[in-house]
Copies of this chain bind each other. A is one copy, B any other.
Amino acid sequence: MAQLVLVPSTLELSAIGKPCFKPQTQCCMVNSTTLNLRTSKFPLKKVTFQRQKPLRSLTVCATTLPIGQDAPPQPTNGFDQSYRDSSKRKRVMVIGGDGYCGWATALHLSKKNYEVAIVDNLIRRTFDLQLGLDSLTPIASIHDRVSRWKSLTGKNIELYIGDICDFEFFSAAFKSFEPDTVVHFGEQRSAPYSMMDRPRALFTQSNNVIGTLNVLFAIKEFNEDCHMVKLGTMGEYGTPNIDIEEGYITITHNGRTDTLPYPKQANSFYHLSKVHDSNNIHFSCKTWGIRATDLNQGVVYGVRTDETDMHEELCNRLDYDGVFGTALNRFCVQAAVGHPLTVYGKGGQTRGYLDIRDTVQCMELAIANPAKPGEFRVFNQFTEQFSVRDLATLVSKAGEKLGIDVKTITVPNPVSKMRSTITMLSALSLSRLHLMAHIFITSYLYFLDNVACCFAENVDWVRICPSKSLKKCKARPKLAQ
């Protein structure tokens, strides 16, 4: 049976990271094998290597998950067994399948023998056009991506180009593909974008809330047994001064006890839209008896997965700008080009993190072990937790190993009044499902060495500067950058 694999590292950076799988600490299988860093089978062709300082010859410990290891995740007690009984190939609709997490997930599921369809309105690419941004890695069109996948693997991915806010389009797609599972990544996913101006704040909330409601109504109308797997965010919880649990918390008050939704304190109109979604999905499960899993994901880093590595046309996007780039991706690009890492405020906030290769595993686990009818199940989806300050230290040390001098500077926090207390996060559910997690210190070195440094010459320095205050959100649309 698969187990969480913890690989001891020669980098000796592990003391800062806090393992998130509390009970797993006792039962995990420790694999002491030291492996050379795995390189891509299908290296990107247009690599331009511009690093100024020479690389040291380096052997590091890496967590490797063999590509050939296709054994399906094992069901465990507490999850719906009946869902797995059918011998028919399960059909998964990936909404937002052209995006960062969506594309990696669609390929991974197709590789794992699911019948996959992608639904996407391609608006993520439109945002780039409007804001003058671009992925650091060159990405092919969704049509070319899907064609290349077919030519390489013989596997078909159906493509529905359209907007899930348009119910006529979406219901037709749903009825045509007949999914067993809908994986829903199809939302505007940037907090800074949602805070730019009034039209973008309204677009974010309307687009995300209405799109999700349409998915819920389609499931209710056309296949109540269909499992909805929805991407949420750890940011929904905000920064409370108590430990963050998975979706629910048991409260004793004035002599009585109840288990209630964990109080949310989102810190952007985007994060709020995810809270609205969670509330709507919870109610729909309770009222209509449909089933859903809400994946409150931490900060994802990295870009390459086993599947995207198969050809340059399958390459995933890498956003490093202040609007769509995650802090960790930005750190990586900053380190690669010699820009100081920009840490907001004191950097004391604890966040959950995971490699994109673990994102796709988590999706697979959630799909293979669905919620029960009527259940609104919440997973906190991350593998390790660090403070931003700790991360900067880790990235600096990873840089040292590659011969890169990484500095850190502090910039004002764009989110006002955000607490900087240390908060313990809980992610028990995925450990119960035996997620085989990648370890940050080795994964990040791989990411820095094999992606950011390769594309360093393409980096636009303006985009790695600190973003502006979220308080400056205006009623009128922001001028083009």
Q: Are the CB atoms of B221 and A287 closer together than 8 Å?
A: no
Q: Are the CB atoms of A288 and B471 closer together than 8 Å?
A: yes
Q: Are the CB atoms of A272 and B265 closer together than 8 Å?
A: no
At the interface, yes or no: A177 with Cβ under 8 Å from chain B?
no
Q: Are the CB atoms of B272 and A283 closer together than 8 Å?
A: yes
Whole-angstrom distance between the alpha carbons of A279 and B415 in the complex? Answer: 16
At the interface, yes or no: A334 with Cβ under 8 Å from chain B?
no
**Copies of this chain per assembly:** 2
Q: Are the CB atoms of B279 and A266 closer together than 8 Å?
A: yes
Q: Which of A291-305 contact B (CB under 8 A)?
A: none
At the interface, yes or no: A69 with Cβ under 8 Å from chain B?
no
At the interface, yes or no: A33 with Cβ under 8 Å from chain B?
no
* Distance of A236 from chain B, by nearest CB (Å): 10
Q: Which of A443-476 contact B (CB under 8 A)?
A: 470-471, 473-475
Q: Which of A1-9, A144-152, A256-264 touches B?
A: A256-264
Q: Which residues of B contact A209 (CB under 8 A)?
A: 205-206, 209, 276
At the interface, yes or no: A242 with Cβ under 8 Å from chain B?
yes
Q: Which of A250-280 contact B (CB under 8 A)?
A: 251-254, 256-258, 260-269, 272, 275-276, 279-280
Whole-angstrom distance between the alpha carbons of A251 and B269 in the complex? Answer: 26
Q: Which residues of B contact A280 (CB under 8 A)?
A: 205, 269, 272
At the interface, yes or no: A417 with Cβ under 8 Å from chain B?
yes
* Distance of A162 from chain B, by nearest CB (Å): 17
Q: Are the CB atoms of B263 and A262 closer together than 8 Å?
A: yes
Q: Are the CB atoms of A241 and B258 closer together than 8 Å?
A: yes
The chain B residue with its CB closest to the CB of A250 is: B253
Q: Are the CB atoms of A257 and B242 closer together than 8 Å?
A: yes
Q: Which of B264, B470, B473 contacts A279 (CB 8 A)?
A: B264
Q: Which of A83-91, A134-142, A212-220, A357-365 touches B?
A: A212-220
At the interface, yes or no: A325 with Cβ under 8 Å from chain B?
no
Q: Which residues of B contact A262 (CB under 8 A)?
A: 263
* Distance of A193 from chain B, by nearest CB (Å): 15
Whole-angstrom distance between the alpha carbons of A269 and B112 in the complex? Answer: 37
The chain B residue with its CB closest to the CB of A280 is: B272
Q: Which of B205, B220, B258, B287 contacts A213 (CB 8 A)?
A: B205
Whole-angstrom distance between the alpha carbons of A220 and B220 in the complex? Answer: 39
Q: Are the CB atoms of A256 and B276 closer together than 8 Å?
A: no
Q: Are the CB atoms of B260 and A261 closer together than 8 Å?
A: no
Q: Are the CB atoms of A210 and B206 closer together than 8 Å?
A: yes
Q: Which of A415-440 contact B (CB under 8 A)?
A: 415-417, 424
Q: Which of B240, B266, B475 contacts A217 (CB 8 A)?
A: B475
Q: Which of A191-235 contact B (CB under 8 A)?
A: 198, 201-202, 205-206, 209-210, 213-214, 217-218, 220-221
At the interface, yes or no: A171 with Cβ under 8 Å from chain B?
yes
The chain B residue with its CB closest to the CB of A171 is: B475
At the interface, yes or no: A286 with Cβ under 8 Å from chain B?
yes
At the interface, yes or no: A400 with Cβ under 8 Å from chain B?
no
Contact A243 to B249, CB < 8 A, known contacts A213-B201, A261-B263, A264-B261: no
Q: Which residues of B contact A473 (CB under 8 A)?
A: 220, 288
At the interface, yes or no: A167 with Cβ under 8 Å from chain B?
yes
Q: Which residues of B contact A167 (CB under 8 A)?
A: 198, 475
Contact A242 to B267, CB < 8 A, known contacts A167-B475, A198-B217, A205-B209: no
**A to B CB contacts below 8 Å, 6 in the list:** A209-B209, A240-B258, A242-B258, A272-B276, A287-B415, A287-B471
Give chain A's interface residues, CB within 8 Å of chain B. 167, 171, 198, 201-202, 205-206, 209-210, 213-214, 217-218, 220-221, 240-243, 249, 251-254, 256-258, 260-269, 272, 275-276, 279-280, 282-283, 286-288, 415-417, 424, 470-471, 473-475
Q: Can you name 6 extra interface pairs (CB under 8 A) apart from A251-B263, A263-B263? A: A213-B269, A221-B475, A241-B257, A243-B253, A287-B415, A287-B416
- 9 nearest A-B pairs in the assembled complex, by CB-CB distance: A260-B263, A241-B258, A221-B475, A242-B253, A276-B276, A198-B217, A217-B475, A261-B263, A243-B254
